Structure 1
Amino acid sequence: MKITNRQKMQIKRSVSVLCSCMMLFLLTGCGQSRYDMAYTVNSDVSSLRLVNIEEKNLNAEPFASDLCVVSSDISIPGIDTSKADGAGLFDVNGRNTLYAKNVYEKLYPASLTKIMTALVALKYGSMDTTLTASANVRNLESGAQTCGLKEGDQMTLDQALHVLLINSANDAAIMIAEGIAGSVEAFADMMNQEALEVGATNSHFVNPHGLSDNDHYTTVYDMYLITNAAIQYDRFNEIIHMKEYQTVYYDKSGNAKDLSVNSTNYYLQGNADAPSGITVLGGKTGTTNAAGHCLVLVSRDTSGNPYISVIMRAESREDLYDEMSSLLSGINK
């Protein structure tokens, strides 16, 4: 019987969970106490969870010693995210969740997906690798954001990542996926494996750009985990901080083509203001009809401490930035 890609991913997840269970048991130093792992890839809470069966303690809690964790909604007086389906504010260095609303609800990520695309590319790709666009870069739904790539066009992975993260170009996402993995499907498998490795177990990806698909989803908390992994790469931090980008790439005949793109982030554009004392370093926007308006930001306070904030499925762009600014004000409270 032929094993499908999805079945292969399920096997990989099962093996990864088993290894995690064995390692966690060895590291806890629990003597003869018996612990059982109440965890599946379909669990409501991302990361690993322990339940002490012998003591009948059935309250499962997230297990992530070096990460922000949360098991229920957390509010801050004066913070309003009523026009978004999910929101979270995470103190990266303090490993503390400051605000949480529906952080484990599965939602469509739209172009927030491209943070995972960049993470996989940074981990497995080489920035000076030359990528060549296939005909698939034109095979996108009507109205999708693109940078105008055509079959045979060439640019480096570094150039493609700039266009991907700054301007949210969906054709660049296709070029990156095919250049690294050979196909969109194979790259999606890499994305799902990487999600598993960072603990984002309530996510599933089927493409590198985030255009709508019923089987393509994530959560607010998983976007924190994915972004937290991405900011470990200096190149990611440099790119998301850029307001604009100019470069030159080449068509299939070797002719030079100029490209200039601007950030889709209103904070970087100067069209939205962060609260006093908060500096927005950058982030990623995402918008589709199914996903609504989404935004992940990396910010810092006056002491230089970093924070990751997430808003998903806001009703409008205006609501998205109003509620994100409200959320960021929680850093100083």
Structure 2
Amino acid sequence: MKCINKRLITLVTALLSIASLTACGSSSYAIPYSTESVYTSISSDMLDTFASDLCVVGSDITDSNISMSKNSCAGLFDLNNRETLYALNVNEQVDPASLTKIMTALVALKYGSLDQILTATKAVNINESGAQLIGLKEGDTMTLDQALHILLIYSANDAGMLIADNVGGSVDEFVNLMNEEAKEIGATKCHFANPHGLTQEDHYVTAYDMYLIFNAAMQYDVFQEIINMSGYTTVYTRKDGSSVEVDVKSTNGYLRGDRQAPSSITVIGGKTGTTNAAGHCLILLAKDSSGNPYIAVIMRAEDGDTLYSEMTALLYKITQS
């Protein structure tokens, strides 16, 4: 399914008016859109006329050659040709787990500065069993740049709280910014309740909205640089002035070398997410042998092996497009 091209448009109907939508990849839209309330009301001819640089999809676009469990939510988006190559359950609202941290990074990059000093409060105290943590304590300090690396590479939940509390002024206010930003970029079927993705009521997203959020985050060079890193080493400061060294490895199996993409595909980077409620999730930026970029996302896979086998199959479709 082709993508639609964002122009200054006005559709005068009793229920619909869209205007002043900006070009693909920009970090904001004057008026958010909804695949449910807008695109399903517009004919394919109108979509071609009132187009944007974003891929859209209103129904499943599957391929019998791709083995994908019915429970998974999956999408493959050709960024240059603005075309959805594969879609399964992409508009179904599901738990995002740590894919949430992409929105956290996007909001932090928009409203914070990389050299901003963050100071940990009690907000970093996360007691959930099995939660990925870097071990922050009240009074610890590091820069936003350091925290973003730890957040996106290692997926530390306490780093997410550190960022939210400092950039937003409070965690609650930062979460409000996350939801405002989601609407601004057109991700209208999601809602965030925290900045890390641990299971919480009223915290959900769709695979399509994750594509929109990831696409928006990629407009920041530092985001692309961080998600491409297989590891990260830094030093932050305790309240008493002592130093703490951090040496973390990526949670992304392709970057760690544990998993292999198709030979003609290069995985630039992405974000993983896993909770009992969300299952196993992964979103990637990948390029073909000509350097053309694609976003691939899989959510709610039943286990890690299934996640990577399905993602590899999805990436293989790039070689056939």
TM-score computed with the length of structure 2 as normaliser = 0.88
- Asked whether 1:125 is paired with 2:103, we answer no
The equivalent position to 1:165 in structure 2, one of 152, 155, 160, is 152
Which AA in structure 2 matches 1:200? A
Name the residue aligned to 2:282. 295
Which AA in structure 2 matches 1:234? D
Matches of 1:122 and 1:58 in 2, distance apart?
Answer: 36
The question of whether the paired residues in 1 share the 8 Å contact of 2:261 and 2:267 is answered with: yes
Aligned 1:1-333 pairs, distance under 5 A: 27-28=8-9, 34-37=12-15, 45=35, 48-49=38-39, 51=41, 65-82=52-69, 84-333=71-320
Matches of 1:108 and 1:222 in 2, distance apart?
Answer: 12
The question of whether the paired residues in 1 share the 8 Å contact of 2:97 and 2:274 is answered with: yes
TM-superposed CA distance for 1:59, in Å, is: 11
Which AA in structure 2 matches 1:45? T
Q: Tell me the secondary structure at the aligned position of residue 27 of structure 1.
A: coil
Q: Give 1 or 2: higher strand fraction.
A: 1
Q: Tell me the secondary structure at the aligned position of residue 189 of structure 1.
A: helix
Q: After superposition, what is the alpha-carbon deviation per residue over 1:40-89, rounded to whole angstroms, capped at 9, x for unaligned?
A: x9x9736844747xxxx799979761100111100123111116420000
The question of whether the paired residues in 2 share the 8 Å contact of 1:249 and 1:258 is answered with: yes
Matches of 2:316 and 2:296 in 1, distance apart?
Answer: 11
Structure 2 runs not aligned, ≥5 long: 1-5, 18-30
Q: RMSD between aligned alpha carbons? A: 2.6
Q: Which range is displaced more, 272-281 or 132-141?
A: 132-141
Q: Give 1 or 2: higher helix fraction.
A: 1
TM-superposed CA distance for 1:37, in Å, is: 3.7
Cα gap change, 1:229 to 1:59, in 2 (>3 Å): same
Matches of 2:224 and 2:309 in 1, distance apart?
Answer: 24
Which AA in structure 2 matches 1:99? Y
Q: What is the percent sequence identity of the aligned residues?
A: 59
Which AA in structure 1 matches 2:293? P
Which AA in structure 2 matches 1:247? T
Matches of 2:57 and 2:90 in 1, distance apart?
Answer: 8
TM-superposed CA distance for 1:270, in Å, is: 0.6
Deviating 4+ runs (over 2 angstroms): 26-30, 34-39, 43-52, 57-64
Q: Tell me the secondary structure at the aligned position of residue 226 of structure 2.
A: helix
The question of whether the paired residues in 2 share the 8 Å contact of 1:47 and 1:64 is answered with: no
Which AA in structure 1 matches 2:9? T
Q: Tell me the secondary structure at the aligned position of residue 72 of structure 2.
A: strand
The question of whether the paired residues in 2 share the 8 Å contact of 1:47 and 1:200 is answered with: no
Matches of 1:48 and 1:205 in 2, distance apart?
Answer: 22
Q: Which range is displaced more, 274-283 or 60-69?
A: 60-69
Matches of 2:51 and 2:135 in 1, distance apart?
Answer: 42
The question of whether the paired residues in 1 share the 8 Å contact of 2:92 and 2:206 is answered with: yes
TM-superposed CA distance for 1:174, in Å, is: 0.2
TM-superposed CA distance for 1:27, in Å, is: 3.4
Q: Tell me the secondary structure at the aligned position of residue 300 of structure 2.
A: strand
The question of whether the paired residues in 2 share the 8 Å contact of 1:61 and 1:71 is answered with: no
The question of whether the paired residues in 1 share the 8 Å contact of 2:272 and 2:282 is answered with: yes
Which AA in structure 1 matches 2:123? N
TM-score computed with the length of structure 1 as normaliser = 0.85
Aligned residues: 302
Which AA in structure 1 matches 2:308? Y
Q: Tell me the secondary structure at the aligned position of residue 8 of structure 2.
A: helix
Matches of 2:201 and 2:69 in 1, distance apart?
Answer: 25
Q: Tell me the secondary structure at the aligned position of residue 307 of structure 1.
A: strand
Between structure 1 and structure 2, the one with the greater Rg is 1
